[in-house]
Amino acid sequence: MRSAFHLLVVAILLFGGAWPVTKAALAHATPMWFAVGRAGLAAVVSALLLAALGRLHWPRRRDMPSVLALGLLQLGVFFVLAHAAVAMVQAGRTAIISAVVTYWLIPLSVLVLGEKVPPHRWVAAGLGLAGVAVLAGPWSVDWTDMAQLLGHLMLMAAALFWTLAIITTRKYPPASSVFELLPWCFTLATVFILPFALVLEPDGGIFGPSWPFMLYIGLVVAPIGTWCVIEVGRRLPGAVASVAFLLVPAFGVLVSHLWLREPLGWDMILGGGLIVASVVLAARESGEQPAA
């Protein structure tokens, strides 16, 4: 289980900073085309890497539930909803809400997978959700603004589809390693997102100043970060994984403050502290400590 925490650290560093980078990129790119580029580049780089290692192969029959769930739900639907929402909502807030699988993963792990969640992990989840509530600061949002309301609903739905993909890979484990499935998952996601870009953004695209951000997200964050997140979700108990993923938005808020100058006040400090405490509690109950 220690290796899962090592992968979690990588996921936090990559995905926590991904939404501020995406927000900056959208100054010169449209959301759906950026999502297409992100998924398409990740498909190419992961396929080339696997080919160089001699491990590129067609998915096996037992791999198909995972390929479909990851490609359509965690990557396709999630990218469509989250990239559309980041144009309406602050980057830090996008990182917070889109990564909060806690309110979906724990109950679904109990109902679908039959996991037993001890009381202390429910406490850890409660602390984490309290931290998220403080970080998100719903009292500072103008809920009469339909763009803000729609953006937040889209982010909650994105987290749900991400969670459904995790549940699928745990209930129907693939025969191949997740790393070997990434090219097919990203290709499926690209095919899924492309019609949205063509219909919703016929004059859109990725323009000059956004390409360095696109290359970083597509070549580094998407393939490596996605692999880490999937493996963490598969290796850790649902209650531990869902709480641990809360470190991603906490780091995203910090990056948004340092780079985009989004405000950082008492609520960010308190919320971040609650999330860290929840992760420590959940990790201790599994007999592990998160890697520092």
Q: What is the pTM assigned to this prediction?
A: 0.76
Residue pLDDT, tens place only, 62-116: 999 999 999 999 899 988 888 788 777 765 556 566 666 666 777 888 888 887 8
Residue 146 has pLDDT above 60, yes or no: yes
Domain assignment present for residue 62? The answer is yes
Domain assignment present for residue 80? The answer is yes
Residue 286 binned pLDDT confidence (cut-offs 50, 70, 90): very low
Domain assignment present for residue 167? The answer is yes
Which domain covers residue 247, as residue numbers?
A: 2-285
Number of domain units in the chain: 1
Domain assignment present for residue 290? The answer is no
Candidate from 2-6, 39-43, 82-86, 232-236 with smallest mean pLDDT? 2-6
Domain assignment present for residue 291? The answer is no
Domain assignment present for residue 201? The answer is yes
Domain assignment present for residue 292? The answer is no
What's the pLDDT score for residue 93? Answer: 59
DSSP string, the chain: -HHHHHHHHHHHHHHHTHHHHHHHHTTSB-HHHHHHHHHHHHHHHHHHHHHHHT---PPPGGGHHHHHIIIIIIIIIHHHHHHHHHTTS-HHHHHHHHT--HHHHHHHHHHHH-----HHHHHHHHHHHHHHHHHH-GGGS-TT-HHHHHHHHHHHHHHHHHHHHHHHHHHS--SS-HHHHHHHHHHHHHHHHHHHHHHH-TT--B-GGGHHHHHHIIIIIIIIIHHHHHHHHHHS-HHHHHHHTTHHHHHHHHHHHHHH-----HHHHHHHHHHHHHHHHHHHHTT-----
Residue pLDDT, tens place only, 41-73: 999 999 998 999 999 999 999 999 999 999 999
